Amino acid sequence: MKMSYREALREALREAMSADSRVFLMGEDVGRYGGSYAVSKGLLDEFGPDRIRDTPLSELGFVGAGIGAALGGMRPIVEVMTVNFSLLALDQIVNTAALYRHMSAGQFSVPVVIRMASGAGRQIAAQHSHSFENWYASIPGLTVLAPATVDDARGMLGLALADPDPVLIFEHAQLYNLEEELSADKVSEIRSARVRRAGSTVSLITYGGSLPKTMAAAEMLAEEGIDAEVIDLRVLRPLDEATILASVRKCRRAVVIDECWRSGSLAGEIMARIAEQAFYDLDAPLARVCSEEVPMPYARHLEEAALPQPAKIVAAAKAMLGK
């Protein structure tokens, strides 16, 4: 069955709420408006205002309320309109949700799921277009997910709700219209990366909205006789080092594609782990393709120039091979 990424998320929400009366959705415009990206469209009529809760424009307040509800035994799904706005709730996420289990010596857990749109490519300028996944992926106590396929959009939410600790789900806004066949096999875990394209010459390691671009780059490389393997991280914390290292040791070259800025990027962390554990398996220096070090431009041609693109990925891989 073919389904869009948006529809897959909606079905995941519907299934979770039907299965467990403790589950509810809260956030800005999730009710009458149907969600900023139409993910929750129709759910207010189906589940009512007690379980589809519109909130004030105060991320600090409603994320904190979601954490409190989780501590009280509920299973809240908190939707933050865009990752940029999540910074207003940084204290609640980093200093409260992530730390409660540790600071209570295991007496309390915070089973909250926080969803947010991330990334650029839609010409809505800097305050709505950045990628801060790397910031959250550096915080102990959080699980950080980046579904890049319809299957993962459909399957990750239920597993996140079953986790006793806080889970952040980053949905790249460029993926909402993506349509794919929904697999008959259910997503069974949220701890592993996936090999999306097998190869033997160079590992292309990525996640989220950069996956389609990386797959396109792999096809372009194949036309030139370069056999690229594509790794979809899926889970940014904890990182699946075993899958990354296995690919690098097979291909002996690696390019990391990451829409975060190069400075302080998740790409840099991945490269460091490869260098620490597989340095002598490499036949060429590691490379990365990240966003340019600028606030995301509004103009389309500048936005496209600032972001990782298939041509940039191809150029990085070819340079590594001396072509």
Q: Report how far apart, in Å, the C-alpha atoms of 105 and of each of 30, 101, 108, 113, 268 are.
A: 35, 6, 8, 22, 32
Question: What pLDDT was estimated at residue 323?
Answer: 81
Q: pLDDT grade, residue 184 (50/70/90)?
A: confident
Q: pLDDT, tens digit, for every residue of 116-169?
A: 999 998 899 999 999 999 999 999 999 999 999 999 999 999 999 999 999 999
Residues in CB range of 162: below 8 A, 6 or more apart: none
* pLDDT higher than threshold 90 for residue 1: no
Q: CA 148, CA 142: separation in Å to the nearest integer? A: 19
Q: CA 323, CA 321: separation in Å to the nearest integer? A: 6
Q: Which of 7, 28, 59, 133 is catalytic?
A: 59
Mean pLDDT of the chain: 97
DSSP H helices in the chain: 5-19, 43-47, 59-71, 83-86, 90, 100-103, 133-137, 150-162, 210-222, 241-251, 266-278, 300-306, 310-320
DSSP 55-87: --S-HHHHHHHHHHHHHTT-EEEEEES-HHHHG
Q: CA 139, CA 133: separation in Å to the nearest integer? A: 11
Mean pLDDT of 53-76: 97
Q: pLDDT, tens digit, for every residue of 212-246?
A: 999 999 999 999 999 999 999 999 999 999 999 99
* pLDDT higher than threshold 90 for residue 185: no
| Residue 59 a catalytic site member | yes
Q: Which of 7, 28, 128, 229 is catalytic?
A: 128
CATH of 2-181, one of 3.30.830.10, 1.10.340.70, 3.40.50.970, 3.90.190.10: 3.40.50.970
Fold of the domain spanning 194-320: Rossmann fold (3.40.50)
| Residue 102 a catalytic site member | no
Please check whether the two domains, 2-181 and 194-320, share a CATH topology: yes
* pLDDT higher than threshold 90 for residue 178: yes
Question: What pLDDT was estimated at residue 82?
Answer: 94
* pLDDT higher than threshold 90 for residue 284: yes
In the chain, the amino acid numbered 132 is: F
Domain ranges within the chain, ordered by starting residue: 2-181, 194-320
Question: What pLDDT was estimated at residue 315?
Answer: 98
Residue 243 is classified by DSSP as: H
Q: CA 63, CA 68: separation in Å to the nearest integer? A: 9
* pLDDT higher than threshold 90 for residue 7: yes
DSSP 33-47: T--TTSTTTTHHHHH
